[in-house]
Chains A and B, each alone.
Chain A
Amino acid sequence: MQTPAIPDSEQQRLSALRDTGLLDTVPETRFDRLTNLAQLSLGTEIVLISLVDSDRQWFKSKQGLDACETARDVSFCGHTILGEGIFEVPNALLDNRFADNPLVLGGPNIRFYAGVPLVSDGEKIGTLCFIDSKPRTFTDTERQIATEFGKSIEQEIQDRLQDHAHQQLAAREQMYRSVLEGTKIGTWQWNVQTGETVLNERWADIMGYTLAELEPISVDTWLNLLHPDDVAESDAQLEDHLNGKNSFFDIKCRMKHKDGHYVWVHDRGKVVTYTDDGKPHMMYGTHADITQQKLGQIALQQSRDQLYKLTQELPGVVYQYQSWPDGRNAFPYASSAIKDIYGVTPEEVLTDASNAFAKIYQDDLTALVDSIQHSIDTLSVWELEYRVVDDNGLPKWLSGSATPERMPDGSTLWHGYIQDITQTKEHYLKLEQLNHQLNIAQQSLDLASEQAQIGYWQASLKHGTLWWSPMIYQIFGLNEQDFSPSVSLFKSAVHPDDVVKVEQSEDQARITGIHNVIHRIIRPSGEVRWVHELGQLVSEDKNPDLIMIGSVQDITDAMKLQKIKDDFISTVSHELRTPLTSISGALNLLQSGKIVSLPEKAQKLMDIASSNCLQLSRLINDLLDIEKLAAGKMLFEMKPLVMPPLLLRALNDHQPYAAQHNITLALLHSPQINDATIYVDEHRLLQILTNFLSNAVKFSPQNGKVTLSALVIDDHIEIAVQDQGSGIPDDFKDKIFEKFSQADASSSKAKGGTGLGLALCKELIGAMNGSIGYQSEPGSGARFYVRLPIMK
């Protein structure tokens, strides 16, 4: 028996066979009808459509045989597919190739065999074969009929393939339709050549229309609804697809909804057919509403942008830090400020944080590592102040805080913030330093307060609150633990005779802001103490609570001393004046000649005694005045005053004295003086002018002239006395207004001065807001003046 050979193109042949999809399928009428017809036409017992597989022949259709398949190596068909045209064996028993074939020797006892090769896709995939158990030979007509049946079967095989393809296509289309319906995606078809366009209802629905409303539909329907800004991109996309650059037309663009707003759509399409001359023909595509997705994306992008901006604005770094159990650590996210904090970029620590750790100040590293470990162990918030070293080697203080969470892989991820607190830290240290200094100052103040017996207080006139320093309790004889400061507590301690005085000062304080009063208080023990209260309202623009601060000084001892001094002055002046009164009285009476008439020499002696008596009296008065001024006890009766009458009076008062020395007195004043008013104590101003005039007369040469003048200079009046004396020696000019100073020691005897006059004048004019001065050239007289402000 001869086994059929394997054709050269066996692989292709088998592939073509499998592509037919016929193997192992159920019988089909389209084939069975043909084999049945062939059986009837050619009258053979058996007709088969045999498909020659790799090691078997399988029968797609069979007439007159029960078996489905036989082995290839015993097959007759395996021989048929090796040649062209019909392969015919008239009597197998007589043919060496088949005589011992089991199909010949046993059932179906083949004697006659004729096979027509079946070709599909250029390969012989099997045969249409005719078999008889008796020898036979086909006539030419019979062969022609068999061949035609073969061709019919080949056609059926092709038709079947196409039917299958169509079915698959239909199923797939059905599937796509279902998908489209399910996903609510619109579709479109566009005939690129004619412009004819077909849209589905969903397409229209996305745009807010029904299809009917969009009629007539054309490619312009799309263009009219497209956002003007997206037209260019759409055109470019289409062009790129049509010329083969992109395999799809794909665009996300805005299209105008029927309501007027724009919806975001995603259109994707493809040319599926081409004209015979290769031009794009039909294009199919989808049209999806992606507005929600797009708005979500935009919102996400916006919030990302905002977050980015926000983190850029922050002075510190916003970060995520991750630590794995194997010791790795990284900053999966860090804002760009990490450059300022650790001197590294976010990229440099994205997967490995060791660059940042290298910057940690050595002394703080352990604390940092421990604190991170603690946060990992307890999942508690990580917080730490620590230092890093910057590129210049200088330490920088950082403050960090982060919240940890455990990740599925066992690592810990922190979300946190680190900021540079170097300045804050420095300020804090400075503040501590200042605080320390303040403490020292406070202690010094307390010490001074104790030594000077000064207590201080602070009150808010707005809230009625009051605070006392410990010394105040001591001055008032109160126990600090038993009393809290209050206005009524203070008032209850004021001596009843001084209550009015204190209230007056308080009233004044409300107007002037200054509270200044000396008064008595009575301690709980009954002891009376003198206190000096001084208070000041803190300047109003920065003082919304009307804070008044002040001091209370126990001046009892000083008051006792003052009393002793006052008594002493009073006594001395009385004791001196009493005999002086007798002496001067007696001298005046004698001198008058009305009691007794004196000889000429006695009269001369009387004049000397009288003059010295007057001198003594003046000295005592000046001394007392100076004391009064120093003690602030001199009362000034300040009144508005015009000058001319006072000037005249001063001149007249000195006329006799001047005449006595052969001196001429002159008065000179400008007309403006009549209109100028000054605010002075008339008596004290006269005292000053008296001093000036008597000095001038005293130091003028015989027949000299003394001029009293008054001028207006700017907003002041200047009253001056000019003499023609020898002027003031240079070495005396510095001390002319000092007490007990005279140009030379002998002059007090020669001229009869006390040496207190000008010192007193200076004190008096100062107390009346005026100033004093002089001009003098040695040899050409002196000019003394006072200046007083003119009243507005």
Chain B
Amino acid sequence: MPLQKILHVEDDESIRVIVEMALVDIAGFTLTSCDSGSEAINTLEHFTPDLILLDAMMPGMDGLQTLNAIQKLPQCQGIPVVFMTARIQQQEKQEYLTAGAIAVIEKPFDPMSLGDELETLFQDHVSATR
């Protein structure tokens, strides 16, 4: 099963633009972007992505709180979540993985390879959970 639909949650507009170009224009995925955790929860009511790319540091609900909320949604069971963070402290990375993220991508990232990276992570996840 190829990766097709991605939900991106990011409060920083610049990054939302870059990620959109990288994943849509360069990688060719279907992308829905949200600027906050709460918006993401709302979006997930009517949109079921193959993968969620979640920023860790956001005002309001932060990444972990958003993840918690997502995990409670019945329709989102099994959807892999990848964190994106500028906090590259080992301890924080471990916190995200423990909470249920399948991977952590560090900022700054290379937009040219972001799509490939997510595809790989997704396929690995599918293989592991099959």
- Evaluate contact between B108 and A586: CB separation under 8 angstroms: no
Which residues, 91 to 106 on B, are CB-close (under 8 Å) to A?
91-92
Q: How far is the CA of A588 from the CA of B86 in the complex (A)?
A: 18
Chain A residues with CB under 8 A of B90: 628, 633-635
**B11 vs chain A, min Cβ distance (A):** 9
**Which of B25, B88, B107, B109 has the largest number of chain A CB atoms within 10 A?**
B107
Q: Are A592 and B15 in contact (CB under 8 A)?
A: no
Q: Does B77 contact A (CB under 8 A)?
A: no
Q: Are A581 and B109 closer than 8 Å at their CB atoms?
A: yes
**Interface contact B25-A594, CB-CB below 8 Å:** yes
Using known A-B contacts A574-B86, A574-B87, determine if residue A581 contacts B110 with beta carbons closer than 8 Å: no
Question: In the bound complex, do residue A570 and residue B108 qualify as a contact, i.e. CB atoms below 8 Å apart?
Answer: no
The CA of A584 and the CA of B22, in the complex, are separated in Å by: 12
Question: How many whole Å from A588's CB to the nearest CB in chain B?
Answer: 5
Find B25's partner among A578, A586, A595 (CB 8 Å cutoff): A595
| Complex Cα gap A613–B88 (Å) | 18
The answer to whether residues A581 and B87 also contact, given A589-B18, A594-B25 and a CB cut-off of 8 A, is no
Cα(A581)–Cα(B88), bound, Å: 13
Judged by a CB distance under 8 angstroms, whether A423 is at the interface is no
A536 within 8 A of B: no
Kindly state whether residue B41 has any CB partner on chain A within 8 Å. Answer: no
B18 x A617 contact (CB < 8 A): no
Say yes or no: is B42 at the interface (Cβ < 8 Å to chain A).
no
Top 6 nearest A-B pairs (CB, nearest first) are A577-B86, A585-B18, A582-B14, A581-B107, A581-B108, A574-B86
CB closest chain-B residue, reference A579: B14
Residue among A586, A613, A633 with most chain B CB within 10 A? A586
Q: Which residues of B contact A575 (CB under 8 A)?
A: 86
* Nearest B residue to A594, CB-CB: B26
The binding surface of chain A is classed by DSSP as helix
Total contacts A-B at CB 8 Å: 80
The interface bits of chain A over 536-578 (1 if a CB of B lies within 8 angstroms of the residue's CB, else 0) are 0000000000000000000000000000001001100111111
Given A578-B12, A582-B14, A582-B15: A588 and B88 interface contact (C-beta under 8 Å) = no
Within the assembled complex, what's the spacing in Å between the Cα atoms of A584 and B15?
10
| A573-623, CB < 8 A from B | 573-586, 588-589, 592, 594-595, 613, 617, 621
Q: Assess whether A624 is interfacial by the CB under 8 Å rule.
A: yes
> Would A589 and B22 count as touching, CB distance under 8 A?
yes
The CA-CA distance from A581 to B14 in the complex, in Å, is: 9
Question: Are A578's CB and B15's CB within 8 A?
Answer: yes
- Cβ of B21 to closest chain A Cβ, rounded Å: 5
> How far, in angstroms, from A617 to B108 measured CA to CA in the complex?
7
Please state if A624 and B88 are interface contacts (CB–CB under 8 Å): yes
Q: Are B15 and A581 in contact (CB under 8 A)?
A: yes
User: Which residues of chain B from 9 to 37 have a CB within 8 Å of any chain A CB?
Assistant: 12, 14-15, 17-19, 21-22, 25-26
Alpha-carbon gap, A213 to B107, bound state (A) = 130
Contact assessment for A581 and B92 in the assembled complex, using a CB-CB cutoff below 8 Å: no
Residues of A within 8 A of B87 (CB): 570, 573-574
Q: Chain A residues with Cβ under 8 A from B18's Cβ?
A: 581-582, 585-586, 589
Size category, A interface: 20 to 34
Q: How far is the CA of A621 from the CA of B89 in the complex (A)?
A: 11
Query: How far, in whole Å, are A577 and B56 apart by their CA atoms in the complex?
Result: 13
Which of A569, A577, A592, A617 has the most chain B CB within a 10 Å cutoff? A577
A574 to B57 Cα, complex, angstroms: 8
- Tell me if A577 and B112 are in contact (CB < 8 A): no
Interface assignment of B111: CB less than 8 Å from any CB of chain A? yes
Q: A577-B107, A579-B14 are in contact. Are A585 and B88 (CB under 8 A)?
A: no
B58: min CB distance to chain A, Å: 11
**Docked-complex contact A589 and B108, CB < 8 angstroms:** no
- Give bound CA distance, A625 to B107, whole Å: 15
Within 8 Å CB of A628, what residues of B?
89-90
- Given A570-B92, A573-B86, A594-B26, verify A580-B112 contact (CB < 8 Å): no
Query: What is the chain A residue whose CB lies nearest that of B107?
Result: A581
Contact in complex: B21, A633 (CB < 8 Å): no
Question: Once the chains bind, are A589 and B26 in contact (CB under 8 Å)?
Answer: yes
Residue pair B108, A580 in contact (C-beta under 8 Å)? yes
Q: Provide the bound-state CA to CA distance between A633 and B94, in Å.
A: 13
The 22 sampled A-B contact pairs (Cβ below 8 Å) are A569-B89, A570-B89, A570-B92, A573-B86, A574-B85, A575-B86, A576-B86, A578-B15, A578-B107, A581-B15, A581-B86, A585-B18, A585-B109, A585-B111, A586-B17, A588-B111, A589-B26, A589-B112, A592-B26, A617-B108, A624-B88, A633-B89
Residue of A nearest to B91 (CB): A633
- B17, B89, B112: the one contacting A592 at CB < 8 Å is B112
Docked pose: A573 CA to B17 CA in angstroms = 21
One digit per residue, 1 when the CB lies within 8 angstroms of any chain B CB and 0 when it does not, for chain A 742-771 equals 000000000000000000000000000000
Determine the residue in chain A with the shortest Cβ distance to B18.
Answer: A585
Chain A residues closer than 8 Å to B91, beta-carbon distance: 633
Chain B residues near A566 (CB-CB < 8 A): 89
Which residues of chain B are near A586, meaning CB under 8 Å?
Answer: 14, 17-18
- Give A361 Cβ to nearest chain B Cβ, in Å: 76
Shortest B67–chain A CB gap in Å is 18
**In the assembled complex, how far is the CB of residue B64 from the closest CB belonging to chain A, in whole angstroms?**
14
Residues of B within 8 A of A573 (CB): 86-88
Q: Which residues of A contact B26 (CB under 8 A)?
A: 589, 592, 594-595
Most buried by B among A569, A573, A589, A592: A589
Contacts A582-B14, A634-B90 aside, 7 further interface pairs with beta carbons under 8 A come to A582-B17, A584-B108, A589-B21, A589-B26, A589-B112, A595-B21, A595-B26
| Bound: A594/B92 CA distance, A | 35
Interface string of A400-423 (1 = CB under 8 A from B): 000000000000000000000000
Docked Cα-Cα span, A409 to B105, in Å, equals 114
Q: Collect the chain A residues with CB atoms within 8 Å of residue B14's CB.
A: 579, 582, 586
Bound: A586/B89 CA distance, A: 25
A426 to chain B, nearest CB (A): 62
CA distance in complex: A621, B108 (Å): 10
A589 touches B86 (CB 8 A): no
Nearest opposing residue in chain A for B89, CB measure: A570
